[in-house]
Structure 1
Amino acid sequence: MKYGAHLNYALRNINLTINPGEKIGIVGRTGAGKSSLAKVLFRLIHENTSGSILIDGQDISEFGVGDYRPRLGMIPQESTMLDGSVRRNLDPLQQFSAEDISGQQQLFGLCRVIMRKRKIVVLDEATANVDLETDRSVQELIRKEFSDCTVLTIAHRLETIMKSDRIIVMDRGAIAEIGTPQELLSKDGMFAQLVETSDFGQ
């Protein structure tokens, strides 16, 4: 994937299988391709791409965008806030009763996705702007509420992804390493260097 025909590849040679319900951490320095991976999954990039993404064996290009995107949940670093009440921010389309509705701005995106019960959830630096204690509480909530979901977490803190089933280390648009946290730490490769320097590229 490129952001323009004459630009370098933002993603290249990605070949990856993620199992249903798996928790995946995605790390890498700034510009490594972490957020680009999320953008192609959500079909936010239409040109200068090749290859395919299959979900349950079905190519996502076969879905209409209006049918496809609502199946996924995204919790970005900056959640959109609307003028008005807490209720309007949690449920802008008025799809839920008062009993369904459970803050800080960074937690609104999390609440929206929890309410909609998506099976695939992407957390794109979702807790970057909260303190460590709140981050721990959010991660605990995510483990509980999304236990049956496939979760991809783009991380800026080591703690955020150390309980992942597998970690993907991105570098210059490609997958540099992949494995369990323990496997990657024992390899003394790029992930180990990122951990040692705490350079997770915000």
Structure 2
Amino acid sequence: FALKNINLNRIDITSIGLEDLRSKLTLIPQDAVLFKGSIRDNLDPFKDYTDAECIEALKRVHLPVESEESQTAELSDTGLNASSGGHSETGSLKTKAGVPKLVTLNLETAVSEGGNNFSHGQRQLLSMARALLRKSNVIVTDESTASVDFETDAKIQATVREEFKQSMLITIAHRLRTVTDNDRILVLDAGRVVEFDTPEELLNNPNGVFHGMCKRSGDYEHLLNVLKLSPK
């Protein structure tokens, strides 16, 4: 089919400038983009928000913050190394037994080029915190919590649903359970649209592509329970 136009809040996106359009969009990619500087530089590069708002965003993505006064957060993830260069350093990561050890993080903690001193999961969480600060009209998430555990993923998904109630949320899913409460699901096969309907209708169709994906995912029973459906 031929796509005539794309409207955002009833405005044809071709009728507005590219910068204005980009300001209304936030992308949370699978490989989060971080640049050299501090945590604060990466959360709020244009200094539009207060320290308290930045700390609150870290809390919202479940990076446990000790207090706004100390502006620190503690992580129990791996992959965070000490780094210097005018910014504060993180503590040791592992015990001698190799067990992850809590380290502290504050808004001035150094971020190396590409965020390489953070684990993949931590970079995703920081990217999510940045999106929470912006509160854009359209949020596109591309497997943005693929590298965190299921419990943390569920908490972050709940936060996203709450924080972005007034936004259009487009999710490129890695875990099928992250899209069960979406309004609509679009299923692609080799770049072609094969299904488009509510999660309930798609999962309730035993001959459907989405139904087959759910059955093979290992989360079939969980998805049925969430959507209050009976097995087919």
Normalising by structure 2, we get a TM-score of 0.61
CA RMSD between the two structures = 1.8
Q: Unaligned 5+ residue runs, structure 1?
A: 1-12, 16-50
Cα separation, partners in 2 of 1:14 and 1:108, compared to 1, 3 Å: farther
Cα separation, partners in 2 of 1:113 and 1:14, compared to 1, 3 Å: farther
Matches within 5 A, 1:22-61: 51-61=4-14
Structure 1 residue 111: Cα displacement: 1.1
Instruction: Give the whole-Å Cα distance in 1 for the aligned partners of 2:171 and 2:2.
Output: 17
The match for 1:62 is 15
Contact 1:14 1:174 in 2 (8 A): no
Instruction: Give the whole-Å Cα distance in 1 for the aligned partners of 2:27 and 2:143.
Output: 11
What CA deviation, in whole Å up to 9, does each residue of 1:122-151 have, x standing for no partner?
111111121212111110110111122111
Structure 1 residue 155: Cα displacement: 0.3
**Of 35, 50, 57, which residue of structure 2 is paired with 1:97?**
50
**Of 139, 150, 156, which residue of structure 2 is paired with 1:132?**
150
Structure 1 residue 66: Cα displacement: 0.9
Instruction: Give the whole-Å Cα distance in 1 for the aligned partners of 2:20 and 2:172.
Output: 25
2:133 matches 1:115: yes
Contact 1:14 1:175 in 2 (8 A): no
Bigger Rg over Cα: 2
Specify the code of the residue in structure 2 equivalent to 1:141: T
Matches within 5 A, 1:1-202: 13=1, 51-102=4-55, 104-188=122-206, 189-198=208-217
Structure 1 residue 164: Cα displacement: 1.2
Structure 1 residue 14: Cα displacement: 6.9
Specify the code of the residue in structure 2 equivalent to 1:136: A
Structure 1 residue 154: Cα displacement: 0.8
SS of the aligned residue for 1:187 comes to coil
Identity of paired residues, percent?
Answer: 39
Identify which range, 104-113 or 94-103, moves more after superposition.
Answer: 94-103
Q: Unaligned 5+ residue runs, structure 2?
A: 56-62, 64-121, 219-232
Contact 1:52 1:59 in 2 (8 A): yes
Structure 1 residue 87: Cα displacement: 1.0
Specify the code of the residue in structure 1 equivalent to 2:13: I
Instruction: Give the whole-Å Cα distance in 2 for the aligned partners of 1:153 and 1:85.
Output: 28
